[in-house]
């Protein structure tokens, strides 16, 4: 697992972790990552119920997902930078603590406003866990061995992303639990992860007395948040081509341009611009962002399609996500094992991107009358493609940079994948809302579509059968439209990974590479 297993009695003396401790630490990391990522999707099947109970619109439906993703995305670079400066163990525990706090507030939220605030706290915590888990793993395990464990982490990420709707559906349909437990369920597991990491994670101290570039962090967060808010509101609250769009886009681009200027002059930048000189890093970042758009943007709204268009219960809607889970789990694990065995990784990136695009195209053909077995097949194809891509993109980038840039590189990939997911959910959510509104206007007259993005999500049980049938068809058509838009975005991933140059995987862990690089620098 590590380059050389360390005897138990010397581990503490030389500061390295034993074989057993690495296994235990990975268990704590995977548990923490599972619950933090689960928070992004566990509400998917519960959203119709939450919206009905707290009183909300289609825009609020999207915002409950987007707010958490936005907070997670915007804070990932800061977590990654702090990992290069301070105790990784303390930072992981802090991120899990923030997640617990957000989960408790969400579970007790009396209204939509408090719920949205709690999702910000959850997102900040989840952002830390997402970035730090892969950074810590790279510090412990050589890239040549990392494929096996990256596959495991990819499976955990994918299962948490897609199993969330299943767990949420079961909780909503269990009368003595309800939707609030979609948030509260993560609390005991997060606390268990904190305790487990305290006992098992022992990394060399890396604290350096330097100042964090808080201005750069503020500008990056502000710029990304502005663009994500625009992509959520455009098409529903105002036109894509409008003065509001111009203001949001200009403001976001200006803030990001200032961030680049500040980062280029900072002694310790949040995102070192030098990492983009590595072609592999730049291309994997582009591919990660596109995977985020395809995975989050497409799958988040499938639960709504299952419940409204196909008329399934939350639990059944959750069960319908299992084919994608199994596809992702199998492909991620098998690809990781094969990479470790043979040392070749590019073929899995290319194959994964092609299969993912095919899955998106297949899902663009669904409707209110599509059979469940056929939908299951399409979802399995999408899962297989994503499973081969996600963590192997991280592996390729980590293998290409010096050990000193591992934290910044890993957090950059996580940041852009999360940003892709946020853009996918917000922009495609706005497209779905606009499509539903326009189709409703065609079927029922202009008055039905006048609400725009604020149009209420229909409660089918309260509608006459003939109206139910119309709404089922509307949501089936609108969901297929999403995947039709997502397919060409997914195809861009194929182009990105084709130009990545394959490099032999290192056999040294991140800490060992850092020591070697330091010794080499000392000689010069």
* CATH code of the domain in which 316 resides: 1.20.1250.20
Separation between Cα atoms, residue 65 and residue 418, nearest integer Å? 12
Compute, in degrees rounded to 10, the torsion defined by CA atoms 144, 147, 153, 155. Answer: -170
List the domain range (segments joined by +) for residue 233.
214-261
Distance CA 381, CA 266 (A): 45
Kindly state whether residues 238 and 186 are assigned to the same domain.
Answer: no
Do residues 207 and 233 share a domain?
A: no
Q: Looking at the domain assignment, is residue 465 inside a domain? A: yes
Residue 87 DSSP symbol: -
Note whether residue 315 is domain-resident. yes
Decide if pLDDT at 254 tops 60: yes
| Whether residue 299 sits in one domain with residue 253 | no
CA distance 249 to 165: 33
> 116 and 228: one domain?
no
Residues 6+ apart with CB under 8 A from 523: none
pLDDT band at 350 (very low <50, low <70, confident <90, very high): very high
CA dihedral (223, 228, 229, 235) in degrees, to 10, reads: 130
In a domain, 30, yes or no: yes
Taking the whole predicted model, whether its pTM rises above 0.75 is answered as no
Report the candidate in 144, 148, 119 with the shortest Cα–Cα distance to residue 42. 119
Report the domain count for the chain: 2
More confident of the two residues 311 and 4 = 311
| Residue 451 in this model has a pLDDT that exceeds 50 | no
Among the ranges given (22-26, 154-158, 262-266, 277-281), the one the predictor scored with the smallest mean pLDDT: 154-158
Same domain, 61 and 206: yes
Rounded Cα distance, 324 and 294, in Å: 13
Q: How far apart are CA 129 and CA 96, in angstroms?
A: 7
**Inter-residue long-range contacts of 487-491, CB under 8 Å, 24+ positions, other chains counted:** 487/357, 487/360, 487/361, 487/364, 489/290, 489/293, 489/294, 489/297, 490/290, 490/293, 490/294, 490/353, 490/356, 490/357, 490/360, 491/353, 491/357
| Residues comprising the chain, all counted | 524
Encode pLDDT of 327-338 as tens digits: 888 888 888 888
Across the strands, what pairs with 234? 238
Query: Which pLDDT score, from 0 to 100, does residue 319 have?
Result: 78
- Highest mean pLDDT of the ranges 7-11, 24-28, 477-481: 477-481
Q: Could you count the other beta carbons within 10 Å of the beta carbon of residue 380?
A: 21
Residues 237 and 385 in one domain: no
Assess whether pLDDT exceeds 60 at residue 12. Answer: no
Beta strands of 419-496 (E only): which ranges? none
Domain check: are 250 and 311 in the same one? no
Q: What is the DSSP code string of 480-494?
A: HHHHHHHHHHHHHHH
Q: Over 355-402, what HEC string results?
A: HHHHHHHHHCCCCCCCCHHHHHHHHHHHHHHHHHHHHHHHHHHHCCCC
How far is it, in rounded angstroms, from Cα 388 to Cα 426? 25
Query: Rounded distance, CA 482 to CA 430, Å?
Result: 10
Burial class of 82 by CB neighbour count within 10 A (0 to 12, 13 to 18, 19+): buried
Q: Is 39 left (phi over 0), alpha (psi -120 to 50) or beta?
A: alpha
Same domain, 197 and 219: no
Tokens for 189, please give them: 């597991």
- 62 pLDDT higher than 80: no
In a shared domain, residues 445 and 382: yes
Main-chain phi, psi angles of 289, to 5 degrees: -65, -45
Report pLDDT digits (tens) over 394-409: 888 888 777 777 777 7
What CA–CA distance (Å, rounded) separates 486 from 239? 21
- 366, two tokens: 């669904």
Whether 197 and 73 share a structural domain: yes
Tokens of 321: 């996500």
149 contacts 333 by C-beta, under 8 angstroms: no
Residue 104 within a domain: yes
- Asked whether residue 127 falls in the same domain as residue 228, the answer is no
For 511-520, letters b (16+ CB in 10 Å) and e give bbbbeeeeee
143 or 8, greater pLDDT = 143
Give the least confident one: 190-194, 272-276, 309-313.
272-276
Residue 479 forms part of a structural domain: yes
Burial 444-462 (b: 16+ CB within 10 A, else e): eeeeebebbbebebbebee
Q: Any idea of the CA torsion for 13, 16, 18, 23, to the nearest 10 degrees?
A: 150
Whether 2 is in a domain gets the answer: no
Q: Which two tokens stand for residue 121?
A: 């706290």
Give 273-306 pLDDT, tens digit per residue: 777 888 888 899 889 888 887 777 666 778 778 8
Handedness of CA 219, 496, 425, 488 (dihedral sign): positive
Structure tokens at 83: 């990992």
Residues 424 and 452 in one domain: yes
């Amino acid at each position: 697992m590590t380059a050389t297993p360390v005897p138990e009695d010397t581990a503490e003396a030389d500061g390295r972790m034993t074989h057993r401790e690495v296994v235990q630490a990975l268990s704590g990391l995977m548990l923490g990552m599972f619950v933090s990522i689960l928070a992004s999707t566990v509400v998917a099947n519960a959203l119709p119920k939450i919206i009905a109970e707290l009183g909300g619109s289609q825009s609020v439906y999207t915002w409950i997902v987007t707010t958490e993703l936005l907070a997670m995305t915007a804070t990932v670079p800061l977590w990654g930078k702090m990992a290069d400066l301070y105790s990784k163990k303390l930072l992981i525990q802090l991120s899990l603590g923030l997640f617990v706090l957000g989960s408790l507030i969400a579970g007790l939220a009396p209204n939509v406003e408090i719920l949205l605030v709690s999702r910000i706290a959850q997102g900040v915590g989840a952002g830390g866990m997402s970035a730090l888990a892969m950074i810590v793993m790279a510090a412990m395990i050589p890239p040549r061995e990392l494929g096996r464990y990256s596959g495991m982490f990819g499976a955990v990420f994918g299962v948490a992303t897609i199993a969330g709707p299943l767990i949420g559906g079961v909780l909503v349909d269990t009368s003595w639990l309800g939707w609030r437990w979609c948030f509260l369920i993560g609390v005991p597991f997060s606390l268990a992860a904190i305790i487990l990491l305290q006992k098992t994670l022992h990394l060399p101290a890396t604290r350096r007395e330097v100042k964090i570039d808080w201005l750069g962090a503020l500008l990056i967060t502000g710029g990304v948040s502005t663009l994500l808010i625009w992509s959520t509101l455009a098409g529903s609250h105002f036109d894509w081509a409008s003065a509001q769009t111009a203001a949001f886009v200009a403001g976001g681009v200006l803030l990001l341009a200032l961030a680049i200027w500040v980062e280029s002059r900072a002694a310790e930048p949040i995102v070192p611009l030098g990492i983009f000189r590595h072609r592999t890093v730049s291309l994997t970042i582009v591919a990660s962002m596109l995977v985020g758009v395809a995975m989050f943007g497409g799958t988040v709204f499938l639960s709504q399609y299952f419940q409204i268009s196909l008329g399934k219960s939350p639990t059944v809607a959750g069960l319908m996500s299992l084919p994608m889970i199994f596809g992702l789990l199998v492909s991620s694990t098998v690809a990781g094992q094969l990479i470790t065995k043979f040392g070749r990784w590019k073929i899995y990136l290319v194959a994964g991107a092609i299969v993912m695009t095919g899955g998106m195209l297949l899902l663009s053909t669904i409707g209110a009358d599509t059979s469940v077995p056929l939908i299951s097949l399409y979802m399995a194809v999408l899962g297989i493609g994503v499973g081969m891509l996600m963590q192997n993109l991280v592996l390729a980038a980590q293998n290409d940079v010096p050990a000193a840039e591992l934290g910044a590189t890993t957090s950059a990939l996580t940041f852009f994948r999360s940003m892709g997911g946020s853009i996918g959910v917000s922009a495609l959510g706005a497209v779905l809302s606009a499509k539903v509104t326009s189709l409703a206007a065609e079927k029922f007259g202009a008055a039905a579509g006048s609400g725009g993005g604020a149009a209420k999500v229909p409660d089918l049980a309260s509608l006459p059968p003939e109206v139910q049938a119309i709404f089922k068809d509307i949501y089936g058509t609108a969901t297929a439209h999403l995947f039709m838009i997502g397919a060409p975005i997914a195809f861009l991933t194929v182009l990105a990974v084709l130009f990545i140059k394959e490099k032999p995987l290192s056999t040294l862990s991140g800490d060992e590479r850092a020591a070697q690089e330091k010794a080499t620098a000392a000689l010069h």
